[in-house]
Structure 1
Amino acid sequence: MNLLIGSVTAGSKVGELVSELRNIIEDRVNDKFRQNDVSIGIIIESVPQNSSKSYIRYTKSDNSLIIRFHIVFEEYLEKYKIEQRYELGKTFLEWLKIGLQNKAFIKNNPNLDRELLLNYVTELGQKEGWFVDEIDWSLDLDK
Structure 2
Amino acid sequence: MAQEDSNNDEEVNSNFSSSINESSFEYSYDDLCKVLDCSMNDIKRLGNDNIALTKTISLLRNEIESLSKRNEFLVKGNASLNDEIASLKNEESNNALKKENEDLKKGNEDLKKENEEKLMANSLRKAK
Does the TM-score normalized on the shorter chain lie above 0.5? Answer: no
Between the two structures, name the one with larger relative contact order (CA 8 Å, sep ≥ 6). Answer: 1
If the length of structure 2 is used for normalisation, what is the TM-score? 0.27
If the length of structure 1 is used for normalisation, what is the TM-score? 0.24
| Larger strand fraction of residues | 1
Q: Which has the larger radius of gyration?
A: 2
| Larger helix fraction of residues | 2
